[in-house]
Structure 1
Amino acid sequence: MEAAAKQAVGSKYVLESMKYAQRRTWDVVEQLAQRIQPGMLESEATAECKNVLNELGMDRIWHPVLVRFGENTLKTFKQQSDGDPRLKDDDIFFVDLGVVWDQHEGDAGATFVVGHDAEMKACADAAKTVFDEVEHHWRSTGAGGKALYDFAAERAAALGWRLNLDIKGHRVSDFPHAIYKAGNLGDFADCPDAGLWILEIQLAHPTRPFGSFYEDLLV
């Protein structure tokens, strides 16, 4: 019963609408990434994101817009950025968006690199690689949420990165998902149902002060 309660949905919930919200949120991530350029302040990128959201006709945001530059890519969602950094010519940034479309919650995040820093590019790529491997593990084995994050930590280490296990994924659904109090995906013992959970991967470079982030809907 506990697992069923954590995977409950509201009367408006439709899986196709979750997929629509997923696609629309990715549209914003990609459009914003194209507008972020060296010399821009982190706060300016956040403001520009709100412009994109309004241009694309969102219902509302359901969690604050998060754009992190440089060393702030090591920060977790609940941590404040240090200062208001300006994006350098060779730099790394990520975008994390939670947006409601058609009364359903989209949540997407990805890391981008400007310039020619090979380690930053490798770090950004690794977050997506680990995500893809964990997603495939979920599809092929039916592993529970805790097992998925154990696997994620193993894969990150094998690739030479550190997985931030303070970030463990979470529920989404028809708005608002928060009423279900489902906790973190990484603490959920059962196999997560499709269309209800966000898998989050946050990596850190083993020695340099930057990281990467990727999240998407398990569907």
Structure 2
Amino acid sequence: MTTLHSDRQQAERVGPAFSDDGMLAARHLTRLAIREIARAIQPGMVEEDAVERAREVLRRMDLQPTWHPVRVRFGRNTTKAMRQASVPGVVLQEEDIFFIDIAPRHAAWEGDGGATFTFGSDPLQARCARDAQELFHDVRRQWTAFGWSGVRLYAYAQQRAREMGWELNLDLPGHRVADFPHAALHTGSLASADFRPSAMRWILEIHLRDPQGRFGAFFEDMLLEERHYAE
């Protein structure tokens, strides 16, 4: 067994409850919850109230928050790395940007997802939100077409982000998902994986920031083949 194969086997271990169907069900419910939360958010809301609204949506869907807090970030807080606390009391404006980042558990399986939304007609904010999602799919297609390692995928993402006029926040370097809890199996990042990551095992994260520090946009989803992104 080569060292590379051994590293991949170790990094991609799963627990006894793991199943592809279970992971896809958790992903589907996560994407659905993101859309439901986004519909509940309106200008004039305080960020802390939006977080509580997001928790209410998850409770109503019988989804349990798991290994990281529910996050909804408004305006200037969208530039912050996830481990940085939001500036309190930020109100969503009529011309503004926000993102949602949730990691709910469905039965034994972990979901994780994020997306960015805008209000108003600010073209830069709208482009940043769109570019975060487009860059996610661009990077994912390099994985599909060329079998690149996690290291190479994030090097490519950083280069493309610069070409698009943004900064890529490498403090969000992708991570494992599995039957809960993945942290008992592997805590390393996708960006440090020196092998081709397998489908149904990894979350690809893209966090773009305006070079002037005014706002950012976030998109994350499970690393999967093209056929899974029709929804």
TM-score (norm 1): 0.97
Which segment is superposed worse, 125-134 or 51-60? 51-60
1:42 maps to 47
Equivalent pair of 1:9/1:174 in contact (CA under 8 Å): yes
Give matches, 1:129-208, under 5 Å: 129-208=134-213
1:135-169: CA deviation from partner (whole Å, max 9, x where unpaired): 10011111000100001011111111111112100
Q: Does 2:77 align with 1:72?
A: yes
Q: Distance in 2 between matches of 1:145 and 1:208?
A: 27
Structure 2 letter corresponding to 1:53: L
From 92, 102, 110, give the equivalent of 1:105: 110
CA RMSD of aligned residues (A): 1.0
User: How many Å separate the matches in 2 of 1:153 and 1:62?
Assistant: 26
In proportion to residue count, which structure has more strand?
1
Q: What's 1:83 paired with? A: 88
d(CA) in 2 for partners of 1:65, 1:53: 10
Kindly tell me the number of residue pairs found equivalent between the two proteins: 219
Report the equivalent of 1:3: 8
The 2-side partners of 1:133 and 1:195 are apart by 18
In structure 2, the partner of 1:214 is 219
Segments ≥4 residues shifted beyond 6 Å: none
Unaligned 5+ residue runs, structure 1?
none
The whole-number CA distance in structure 2 between the counterparts of 1:119 and 1:137 is: 26
Structure 2-normalised TM-score?
0.92
Contact 2:79–2:213 at 8 Å: present in 1 too? no
CA positional deviation for 1:60 = 4.3
Structure 2: where are the runs of 5+ without partners? 1-5, 225-231
1:3: Cα distance to partner?
Answer: 2.1
Q: Secondary structure at the match of 1:25?
A: helix
Contact between 2:135 and 2:157, CA under 8 Å: does it hold in 1? yes
Maintained 8 Å contact 1:123/1:211: yes
Per the alignment, residue 92 of structure 1 pairs with: 97
> d(CA) in 2 for partners of 1:139 and 1:102?
29
